[in-house]
Amino acid sequence: MIEIKDLLARFSSLLLGEEGKKEEIRKIISEAIKVEIKSEDIKIKNGTIYLNIKPIYKNEILLKQEKILVALEKVFGNKSPTALL
């Protein structure tokens, strides 16, 4: 028997376009560091998230990197980004 979540996982890439992915990443990171960042400050390339933000916020993200990557994996499954820069 196939579960619903397995069926929906097949279509997650269709449901979440580039802007949708950026918005989900923005929500997760903003929640983790308690600072709002803009979607246009996020760039995704080859499974790596690049952030164009102040260095003090990047340090906070690096401290909470494990928590952020786990949350991203829950949302994106096996296609989640693997690094934050």
Query: Token match 């820069």: residue?
Result: 85
Structural domain range at position 34: 4-84
Pseudo-torsion of CA 71, 28, 67, 48, nearest 10°?
80
The tokens for 32 are 């983790």
pLDDT score for 54: 93
Encode the chain (85 residues) as per-residue pLDDT tens digits.
667 766 666 666 555 578 888 898 999 999 999 999 998 999 988 888 899 999 999 999 999 999 999 998 888 887 788 777 7
What pTM did the predictor assign?
Answer: 0.74
pLDDT of residue 15: 54
Return the SS3 of 49: strand
pLDDT of residue 13: 55
Provide the 8-state DSSP code for 3.
-
Question: Tokens 């997650």 identify what position?
Answer: 12
